[in-house]
Structure 1
Amino acid sequence: MTTIINKSGETIAYLYQNMILDISREKVIGLLLGNCVFGKQTEPAGKFFNNTFRKKNGKIIAKLGVDVSSTFKKSPKDAQLSLQAWQILTRVDNHVCLWIEEKKSWTKQSFIEYLQADKEMVEEE
């Protein structure tokens, strides 16, 4: 399990077996499939490369932090998480990953809100 951090270096989510978990580690809020990031939308919400999560416009929305697997005594409930991940996966109807030009700037949008937004809210800021 690896932390996902915001611009300030604060842990905002976790990456666990290709699932993006909320801070409580009980809810799947997104998936990382290959280098494509999926959330509530039916198409990729962005990409992941160079340990960085990026929006479609190339702006940074989060970064991968450190492995914290050894700090948790209790592992997440895999069966529940797998079911939640499956629900996200079955909504995907466009899995063509986009070409994204890398930008050095951070977006103002929250990573969590971004993954949970409807398609109309995900477009360029």
Structure 2
Amino acid sequence: MLPSFRNIEIMKITKDSQQFMLSKAVWTDLIINGKLLSGITYFMLESNDSWCSYWMKMDSDCRSVLHRHTDVELIMLLVGTVQDSTGVVYEAGDCVVYRRDSEHQLYAQHGCIMLVVESRPPIIY
């Protein structure tokens, strides 16, 4: 069970903005380049031709696949903790920016939810 976090539901939509509520997110299986990432789901916040932002949820004892980013990726932990393949553990409130051509894999021992912002999908190994 993930720790509680402030609600960020789709509460209000104006011509200039949208507000979201995390507790109301409808999670979808994450599939990248045709590969289903088991135990990982997402909720798309915004996407256009140059970038996308989404919430990503990893189940307990979940490991992502090793992947490389062809551009910058920003991750902000909202709930729980996650460890990357370098051994660094990120906690709720932490933000990490992975540089172009960096490779990493994530592991969530107790599950987590994060905000991801990226401009191109990663290359999956």
Q: Do both share a fold (TM > 0.5)?
A: no
Query: 1 or 2, which has the higher helix percentage?
Result: 1
TM-score, length-normalised on structure 1? 0.25
